[in-house]
Chains A and B, each alone.
Chain A
Amino acid sequence: MLEVKNLDVHFGVIHALKGVSLTVNDGDIVTLIGANGAGKTTTLRTISGLKKPTNGEILLDGKDITHTSAQDRVKMGISHVPEGRRVFPTMTVLENLELGAFLRRDKDEIAKDLKKVYELFPILADRRKQLAGTLSGGEQQMLAMGRALMSRPKILFLDEPSMGLAPLFVQEIFNIIKNINSTGTTILLVEQNAKMALQIADYAYVIETGSIVLSGTGKELMESEDIKKAYLGG
């Protein structure tokens, strides 16, 4: 479904991504793990169009989208939950969710999707009139995910969904990710919590200082000695 070939990204003179290539198959959960500053977020942001690559190709369903605007990529089915949640704090939960469907004009279908999001995250239904900035971190993460689902994506990008959350919430968020995936949404997940990510991933890539150094199924990587040492704590 998604194919990234030899992506190069620069921030000024800093060469942040050095020829990153990865493939995400339809219906999979694919995870990208790595340390701080390895280039995980940059990879996601480049694929969703928030950052321009200096080189390389991005293909969605075989179509070259390297030079497509971020708006058009949302229309084509890419939805991005940015790092740190980034909900709109002085808007209500409902307004946040409505903005997720900003590019859509099919009101009936939007209402249906809103219902689905409320089913997936019942807490959001309870708090629909509350300002998003007053939600807890875990609730904000759910809102950010719900908001991203409102564009009815084919592929959902999740950037560090477990960041800063209580362990109990982390487990819940990962259950929900599996849940979303089981309804047919492909997922590209960026995580520092490598253990959790590898457990649910069909395929995984390890990124180090801007290059993919290892890839394999979630299970394979979990058993790899290098990964155990570097990311799984023994």
Chain B
Amino acid sequence: MKGILEKNWVKGLISLILTFGIVQVLISTNIINDYLQSTLATICINIILAVSLNLITGFTGQFSLGHAGFMSIGAYVCALITLNNRTIPGFILGVFAGAIVAAIVGFLVGLPTLRLKGDYLAIATLGMAEIIRIIFTNLDSITNGPAGLQDIPQFTNWPWLFLYTAGTIIIISNFIRSSHGRACISIREDEIASEAMGINSTKNKVTAFTIGAFFAGIAGALYASTFNFINPKIFDFSKSINILVIVVLGGLGSISGSVIAAIVLEIINTYLQSFADIQMILYSLLLVIIMIFRPQGLMGSKEISFSVFGKLSSLFAPKKGRV
């Protein structure tokens, strides 16, 4: 058992290094040009958003429509810090400060709202995100109101994006495999039964919600630093829905599903830019078709090994358990 675990760990590390290396080479040879680099950044940010929302919605079963709210907190905090301190340490501080503030808000919002279930929770989290957006819109003196913040220093590049994305995936998948994660899944499966087992459902739900908010904050900070410009409208209701679409499409309760869906959807989006007039029609049509044929999402609740490379190498090796 231990041997297999170690092997998978090594396999995961190798595939991470390979992913990083290959993309790095593609960037330096300009195959991934500036335009595609922004697609790459969007993919990474969407992966972080989707994986963290999957922890809340897919694994813990709490239907949240407020992820864009937490993202906006990370974005604004990081933007304000880096605007005043245009250095790499400032950027690192900005990202983590954004994440921590988002987590604190997540905790404070989660405590009362996570007593609600299903649709009620969805409406409460949606309302929360709208309140955050309206606060940012009206805090003119700090956030520059509806016009937003411009000229945010850009620090993100592929190594940074990769570091944060891989870090998010590793931390959240480890959390899910821990006993806390098991508790979260049991709450999704049957809250009453899990309470009868002695699992504190409120505590575990709030923990998952706070961790999810933390990583949404990181994603927001990376967004601000990548695109140099933020305003409250970016983080509206439709942003939350878009994140949810990635999660559902990838499969509720599958981290690899979220990763794959984030990549696939963004690539589709990028190539559909050439058909700007009917882009949204084609995109929506594709979503409908995928959901008809894969209602459980691309991956269902299954996982594949760390990356495609791990999967490929296992094709040549004798069959083993999943990672």
* B140: Cβ under 8 A from any A Cβ: no
Secondary structure class of chain B's binding surface, majority of residues:
helix
B301 surroundings in chain A (CB, below 8 A): 90
> Are A102 and B193 within 8 A (Cβ)?
no
* B277: Cβ under 8 A from any A Cβ: no
| Nearest-Cβ distance from residue A84 to partner chain B, whole angstroms | 9
* B192: Cβ under 8 A from any A Cβ: yes
* Number of chain B interface residues as a range: 10 to 19
CB-contacts of B148-206 with A (<8 A): 179, 182-183, 185-186, 189-190, 192-200
A98 vs B186: C-alpha distance when bound (angstroms): 11
A103 surroundings in chain B (CB, below 8 A): 197-198
| Nearest-Cβ distance from residue B188 to partner chain A, whole angstroms | 9
A70 vs B301: C-alpha distance when bound (angstroms): 30
B193 surroundings in chain A (CB, below 8 A): 82, 86-88, 144
A100 vs B196: C-alpha distance when bound (angstroms): 9
* Number of chain A interface residues as a range: 20 to 34
> Are B198 and A102 within 8 A (Cβ)?
yes
Known A50-B192, A86-B193, A102-B179; judge A71-B185 contact (CB<8 A).
no
> Are A91 and B197 within 8 A (Cβ)?
no
A98 vs B179: C-alpha distance when bound (angstroms): 10
Q: Point out which of B190, B193, B199 has the most chain A C-beta atoms below 10 A from its C-beta.
A: B193
A151 surroundings in chain B (CB, below 8 A): 197-198
B197 surroundings in chain A (CB, below 8 A): 74, 99-100, 102-103, 147, 151
> Are B189 and A91 within 8 A (Cβ)?
yes
A74 vs B195: C-alpha distance when bound (angstroms): 9
> Are B186 and A80 within 8 A (Cβ)?
no
Q: Which of A70, A75, A88, A100 contacts B195 (CB 8 A)?
A: A70
A87 surroundings in chain B (CB, below 8 A): 190, 193
| Nearest-Cβ distance from residue B176 to partner chain A, whole angstroms | 13
Q: Which of A73, A74, A86 contacts B190 (CB 8 A)?
A: A86
A116 vs B200: C-alpha distance when bound (angstroms): 27
A147 surroundings in chain B (CB, below 8 A): 197
| Nearest-Cβ distance from residue A29 to partner chain B, whole angstroms | 20
CB-contacts of A126-160 with B (<8 A): 144, 147-148, 151
> Are A70 and B189 within 8 A (Cβ)?
no
Instruction: Report the nearest A residue to B189, measured CB to CB.
Output: A88
B182 surroundings in chain A (CB, below 8 A): 95, 98-99, 102
B186 surroundings in chain A (CB, below 8 A): 88, 91, 99, 102
A86 vs B191: C-alpha distance when bound (angstroms): 9
| Nearest-Cβ distance from residue B203 to partner chain A, whole angstroms | 9
> Are B199 and A82 within 8 A (Cβ)?
no
A71 vs B200: C-alpha distance when bound (angstroms): 6
> Are B199 and A102 within 8 A (Cβ)?
yes
A103 vs B193: C-alpha distance when bound (angstroms): 14
| Nearest-Cβ distance from residue A21 to partner chain B, whole angstroms | 23
* A184: Cβ under 8 A from any B Cβ: no
A50 surroundings in chain B (CB, below 8 A): 192, 195-196
Instruction: Report the nearest B residue to A73, measured CB to CB.
Output: B198
> Are B189 and A74 within 8 A (Cβ)?
no
| Nearest-Cβ distance from residue A107 to partner chain B, whole angstroms | 12
* A216: Cβ under 8 A from any B Cβ: no
Q: Which of B183, B190, B196 contacts A70 (CB 8 A)?
A: B196
A96 vs B246: C-alpha distance when bound (angstroms): 29
Bitwise, A90-121 to B at CB < 8 A (1) or not (0) is: 11000100111011000000000000000000
Chain B interface residues toward A at CB < 8 A:
179, 182-183, 185-186, 189-190, 192-200, 301
7 closest pairs, A vs B, by CB? A74-B198, A86-B193, A88-B189, A80-B196, A103-B198, A71-B198, A86-B190
Known A-B contacts: A70-B195, A99-B194, A144-B193. Give 18 more (CB < 8 A).
Answer: A48-B196, A70-B196, A70-B198, A71-B200, A73-B198, A74-B198, A75-B198, A82-B196, A86-B192, A88-B194, A89-B190, A91-B189, A98-B182, A99-B183, A99-B197, A100-B197, A148-B196, A151-B198
* A-B CB contact pairs (8 Å), 9 listed: A48-B196, A70-B196, A70-B198, A74-B197, A90-B301, A99-B183, A102-B179, A102-B183, A151-B197
